Each structure stands twice: as structure tokens, then as C-alpha cells.
Structure 1
Amino acid sequence: MTIDKSQIRNAATVIVLRDRHSDPHILMGQRGAKAVFMPNKFVFPGGAIDVGDAAVPLATPLPQTCADRLAEDADPALAHAIAVGAIRELWEETGLILGQPGQWDTPPPADWETFAATGHLPHAAPLQFVFRALTPPGRPRRFDARFFLVDADDIATDLDNFDAACDELSHLQWVPLAKARSFDMPFITEVVLAEVEARARDTNPPASVPFFKNNDEESLFLRLRGHRMAD
């Protein structure tokens, strides 16, 4: 049996790491009790990629190493939209801007109007692709999620001001990395957390990226090294 890709949405998640060399903290929030996907769980900001993300301009592109890893076992054209979606989700769910000052040449899509109004263009260069996970079969929703690590120093706005955030995540807070496991979080978030702990003081994109690939036949734990799959 093959995966019905029409039922799997591409998604992006952002792990913002603060004070990584002294007292590392990560930004997390709690999903609502009535959420269809992972209710009540503490998670990193993120969500599904929108169709319009592919057409949004970037002030800076992803690091080439990360773009190469994203292209493995995937359509290479997705890399741009996934990076854009990661920045959009971070803005929508936390009110934090990963951007550089700049004006849009064309009117932004509706989901980007408030971001553009701040006078910024999305800035993808600080994103480090560190993990990929495919939701197992049988869940109410399935995502092919890419996780990005970003240093809080690259955020353009006040790290403690979440006033512009939507209400999708509550209890937004900077969690000490050493204490994050005490929160009620999904299994995959715990797995990604281990990767973040291992990379907390490494500012270079990883040479290979873990891929937790759950298909209908088996669960595989692979490493993405930037080699595109043969057609």
C-alpha cells in the first residue's frame, strides 16, 4: 500500500533558541483543548504550508545546505514555500518577526498583510533545517513536517512581546531547555527536542537531518544528506 499524499499536508515548525551559549531557552506554547490535532499539548509554533506561500518573496534565501536537505525525498520546488511558511507561522502564532526591513514590490497575500505592514520581508537565511517527521497513519490529520532551528538573536522584534500573536497557542513562554521535558508534549516534539539539545551550541546547519518517516508499511528513521531521490 502506498501513501495517499493528497491526505498529507506539508508543514513547517520553528524552534527559536534564546541565549544558546549561556542559558538556553526555547519558545513553546500550548494548543487548545478543542484542537483536532494534539489538543492541550505544548508545542513549537508551526503549521501547514499555504498555497500562497510559494509566491511570497524572501529578503534572503535558505542556506544552500538546508535547501539541499529539503530537496531529498521531496519536490525541490517546495523548499521556498516551506521556508516562507515557517516564517509566516512563527509570526501568526507568536507575533515574532524573522525578517529584514524592506518593501514589498507587489501586494502581499492576505495572510501576509500584517507582517508586511511592519515594514519587513521574510528572512530565511537564519533558518536551520534540523528535523523532518511524517505523521503516522491513523491520525485525524497527517503532516510532512519540517523543523527549523533559529537563533533568537535573528528575530527582528522584542522577544518578550507576543501581543500580535493569534490565539492558536496559549501560554507562550521561554522554557529552559533543561526543563522542557517536564511539559506535556507530543512524542515527536520530545524526539526533536533531543536533536535541539545536541545542537544547542552549534550554529552551523547540520551535515545530515533526521527523518522520521512513517508510512503504511513501516516506520523508518532515516538521515537526509542532500541527495535527491531518483525519478
Structure 2
Amino acid sequence: MTDETDKTRLRDAATVLVVRRTAEGPAVLMGMRGEQAAFMPSKFVFPGGALDRADAEVPLALPLAPATASRLEVDAPAIGPALAVAAIRELWEETGLILGAPGAWPGEVPPDWQGFAAAGFVPSAAALRFVFRAITPPGRPRRFDARFFLIDAAEIATDPDDFSRACDELSHLQWVPMAEARRLNLPFITEVVLAEVQAHLREAAPGAEPAQVPFFDNRGPRSAFQRIG
């Protein structure tokens, strides 16, 4: 049985790159983790976090696109909807932004979603695009099997500049020009993801599926770089 109190165990996680098109080029939403954080302290990151057990029970107004759903289920059958919910929940909690469709929840609203539902929305996964996967190497204080999602800021249902409902997990929330993002204090994997997404955006809009999904696999004794087709 998995020990739920063991923070070093490998946990599924979801991260969201929200990209805004501007006249000067694309900008991505980032914030800084606290200096006391156990994982990536004082680093600028994208909104994201670990999958909760309750995520599998949250309804989606619209499902994941078929190609995204299929790629997410490589090595993890049926995990796609829960990962989508985790991505939307983390975006909501850490930035106060809503990725959802107008509507009423079918049944009781979970505690984490009270404000989301009160705003008149149900989470929607249709705009999420799976663009990267990375497993944290062994020996780190926290280990995640993280799936990175890309969405266009135009898909956000609320004001993309209003972070007033964000929790305090990320500070200095801001739209960072992607051409300047590497000047920030970034984790290595964040730099790699940024490079891959920039390359994708040069050829396609945020709503397009990537040709392949890069995957840093650190489950074994040696790191392996793969691509999910």
C-alpha cells in the first residue's frame, strides 16, 4: 500500500502554461515559489501541483480533446480526466483564474471548488493541450510525474489580469515575455519546457496539438528522453 504521508514517493502532478499572444510575442503566466518551500524554493514556475484523490470525482463540463486524452494515458490508463481537473484546480488555487464553462454543478460542490462554482462555472478540459511530461530524478525531497498543459489565455473565463482570488503559494504572479523568461531564476526543467513550447508556438497556435510530446523519464537508474507520439 502506498504511504500517503511519504512526501518522497513519486506523485502524479499537473502543470499549466497559460500563454498570451501580444504584439511583442507570446507571454506566459508565472509566479515565484516561497523561499521556505521544500520543492524548488524561490524559483519562478508555472501554476501546478500534485494530483488529489478527489480530482477523479470532479465533473467536467467538456472533456479533453481525444489526442490529448490518448497521450496522457500512456503508462497510466484512465488518468486523463483527473489530471485535467488537477490542472484546472491548481490554476484556480494559485492564480484565481477560471478555466471552465458557465453552468451549475451536478451535485455537491467539493470544498476546493466552492469559489469556482459560486462564480457560475464548471471546469472544462477542452482547451488543455498536453505538451510535456517529466519525472523528477530520484533523491529529491519531492518527486513528481508531471504532465505540462498548454492553454491560450483567451480560453480563460475571467479577467486574465485579476489575481485577487489567488492563494499565497505563488508570489509575483505576472505575464512574462517568453523571450525574456530565462532571465528569471528557473528550475532546469522549466527552462527545457519553455524551449519546447516556444518551438511549438513558432509553428502553431496554443490550441493546436503538438506533433509529439517530449518526455524526460527518470523512473529507472538512468535518465531517458523519449517522445510520446
For 1:72, the equivalent position in structure 2 comes to 74
- The 5 Å alignment of 1:121-132 reads 121-132=122-133
For 1:207, the equivalent position in structure 2 comes to 211
Q: Label 1:209 to 1:21 Cα distance change in 2 as closer, same or farther (>3 A).
A: farther
- Give the conservation status (yes or no) of the 8 Å contact 1:69–1:208: no
For 1:229, the equivalent position in structure 2 comes to none
- The 5 Å alignment of 1:3-42 reads 7-19=9-21, 23-42=25-44
Q: Take 1:43 and 1:20, find their aligned partners in 2: how far apart are those partners?
A: 21
Offset of 1:21 from its aligned partner? 7.3
Q: Label 1:65 to 1:37 Cα distance change in 2 as closer, same or farther (>3 A).
A: same
Query: Secondary structure of 1:200's partner?
Result: helix
- Give the conservation status (yes or no) of the 8 Å contact 1:97–1:157: yes
Offset of 1:172 from its aligned partner? 0.2
Offset of 1:41 from its aligned partner? 0.1
Q: Take 1:21 and 1:107, find their aligned partners in 2: how far apart are those partners?
A: 43
Instruction: Give the paired residue count.
Output: 220
Q: Take 2:158 and 2:102, find their aligned partners in 1: how far apart are those partners?
A: 11
Q: Take 1:20 and 1:45, find their aligned partners in 2: how far apart are those partners?
A: 21
For 1:45, the equivalent position in structure 2 comes to 47
Query: Secondary structure of 2:227's partner?
Result: strand
- Give the conservation status (yes or no) of the 8 Å contact 1:59–1:123: yes
Deviations 1:154-210 (A, max 9, x none): 000001100000000000000001000100000000000011101225131113111
Amino acid at match of 2:222: E
Offset of 1:20 from its aligned partner? 6.0
- The 5 Å alignment of 1:127-138 reads 127-138=128-139
What is the percent sequence identity of the aligned residues?
63
Query: Secondary structure of 1:199's partner?
Result: helix
TM-score normalized by the length of structure 1: 0.92
Q: Specify every segment of 5 or more residues in structure 2 that has no aligned partner in the other structure, as ranges.
A: 1-5
For 1:90, the equivalent position in structure 2 comes to 91
Q: Take 1:10 and 1:222, find their aligned partners in 2: how far apart are those partners?
A: 18
Q: Take 2:122 and 2:17, find their aligned partners in 1: how far apart are those partners?
A: 20
Q: Specify every segment of 5 or more residues in structure 1 that has no aligned partner in the other structure, as ranges.
A: 226-231
User: Runs (4+) of structure 1 moved beyond 4 Å?
Assistant: none
Q: Take 1:216 and 1:205, find their aligned partners in 2: how far apart are those partners?
A: 28
Offset of 1:152 from its aligned partner? 0.3
Task: Say yes or no: does 1:81 pair with 2:82.
Answer: yes
Query: Secondary structure of 1:178's partner?
Result: coil
TM-score normalized by the length of structure 2: 0.93
- Give the conservation status (yes or no) of the 8 Å contact 1:20–1:200: no
Q: Take 2:42 and 2:139, find their aligned partners in 1: how far apart are those partners?
A: 20
For 2:3, the equivalent position in structure 1 comes to none
Task: Say yes or no: does 1:220 pair with 2:209.
Answer: no
Query: Secondary structure of 2:179's partner?
Result: helix
Question: Larger deviation: 19-28 or 104-113?
Answer: 19-28
